[in-house]
Structure 1
């Protein structure tokens, strides 16, 4: 528990710092995090009969993330954009030369890794530039609400949890924990307009509800994936917490939806 608490403290402190230090630090950090998550995904799913094209998948994710990051900070990224597509097409061709029993399955897992673990970070980076100029308070508010939802779900689940949410997928999650997480996120959202501005109070509350609902579903999807491939954690880079995907599983589904919501309003 002590190791988990120390790791969690430094993990949160580092993320807050990279968001507040400015646009270049923000996009550079999340390009690396997104790429690391893709690599972690490939390590997690790799088995005797599942052999994703790791190098090409990681290079593709890195180039795509760099393309969006460069666009966000208004760097001419046309050349990067063309190059980002090359490894994706090479994945199909490379599978022809690999002596594996399920080449189509390998391609599918390689591309799924890009969609599942890299694309959500494109939208998360986009949150910082949704008004064209960098605003750290939108991605920071997103992270705070995500962490608040997790904390509320844990506390409510431990104190009142009785009715299982998805016992087949995650036996520890309960409806009471789910509701507690959303409610605590909404309570925090009530104060974000006062301290962060950027959105109205109702808009922050809407973002909190989206994160509470779809962040939980993202967590369940990752649990389903881990059960499917027979692993407990996505990795071991964060002592006491597992891997990066274990920490960002809620972001993977919530970030694109929050981005689309804010674009609509």
Structure 2
């Protein structure tokens, strides 16, 4: 528990420093996180008969995430992102030259890892620029609400948890914990406008609701993957916390939806 607490403290401190450090730190850092999450996914699914093209997928994850950041910074035009499409054909063609028993599975897992573990970070990076110029407080508020939801769910689940949420996927999650996480996230959201500005109070509340619901579903989706693959953690780079995919599982589903909501309003 002590190691977990120390790791968590430094992990949060680094993320806050990155977000407040400006766009030129924010973009490459989260492009790297996208690549690490994709790499962890490929490592997690790899077996003797399943061999995803992990380096192609990992490099593509970093390159596309960095390119999205460059578009937001004005260094690239949006249509230039179309150059990422050949990645799909590179995966297909590369599989021709590999002597593996299941090339279709290899291709499928490579593309799935990119879509599941990397694409959501494109939206998270774009969140920093959703109002035009870089604004650290929107992605920072997102992470605070994500952490708050996790904390509220843990505390409420430990104290009042009785009714299982998805027992076959995650036996420890309960409806009471889910509701507690959403409630605490909404309470924090009601105060973010006062300190962060950037969004109206009701917008922060809607963001909290999206994170509370879909962040939990993102957590369950990763649990489903890990249970199916028979692994406890996606990696061991963060002592006591597992891998980057374990730490950002809630973001993977919630970030695209929060971005779309903010673009619409």
TM-score range, shorter chain: over 0.9
Q: Paired residue for 1:124?
A: 124
2:153 aligned partner: 153
Matches within 5 A, 1:102-141: 102-141=102-141
Moved over 6 A (4+): none
Cα distance in 2, alignment partners of residues 21 and 69 from structure 1: 15
Residue 248 of structure 2 aligns to a residue whose secondary structure is helix
Q: Counterpart of 1:2?
A: 2
| Residue 169 (structure 2) pairs with residue 162 (structure 1) | no
In structure 1, the residue matched to 2:199 is 199
Contact 1:186 1:209 in 2 (8 A): yes
Matched position secondary structure for 2:165: strand
- Number of aligned residues: 265
Q: Which residue of 2 aligns with 1:11?
A: 11
1:59-74 superposed matches below 5 A: 59-74=59-74
On the 8 A contact 1:67/1:77 being kept in 2, the answer is: no
Distance (whole Å) between structure 2 residues aligned to residue 162 and residue 118 of structure 1: 35
Give the equivalent residue in structure 2 for 1:179: 179
How far, CA to CA, are the matches of 2:64 and 2:19 in structure 1? 20
Structure 2 unaligned spans of 5+: none
Structure-2 separation of matches of 1:164 and 1:175: 6
Structure 2 SS opposite 1:171? strand
Q: Which runs of 5+ in 1 are unaligned?
A: none
Residues 160-213 of structure 1 show CA distances to partners (whole Å, capped at 9, x for unaligned) of 001000000000000000000000000000100100111111110100000000
Secondary structure at 2:95 match in 1: helix
Q: Distance in 2 between matches of 1:67 and 1:208?
A: 28
Alignment RMSD, CA only? 1.3
Residues 233-242 or 46-55, more deviating: 46-55
Q: Is the 8 A contact 2:153 2:181 kept in 1?
A: yes
Q: Distance in 2 between matches of 1:48 and 1:175?
A: 39
* Paired residues of 1:38 and 1:118 also in contact (CA < 8 A): yes
Q: Is the 8 A contact 2:67 2:76 kept in 1?
A: no
* Structure 1 residues 34-49: aligned runs within 5 Å: 34-49=34-49
- Please name the residue that 1:190 is paired with: 190
TM-score (norm 2): 0.97
Alpha-carbon separation, structure 2, partners of 1:187 and 1:72: 31
TM-score, scaled to structure 1: 0.97
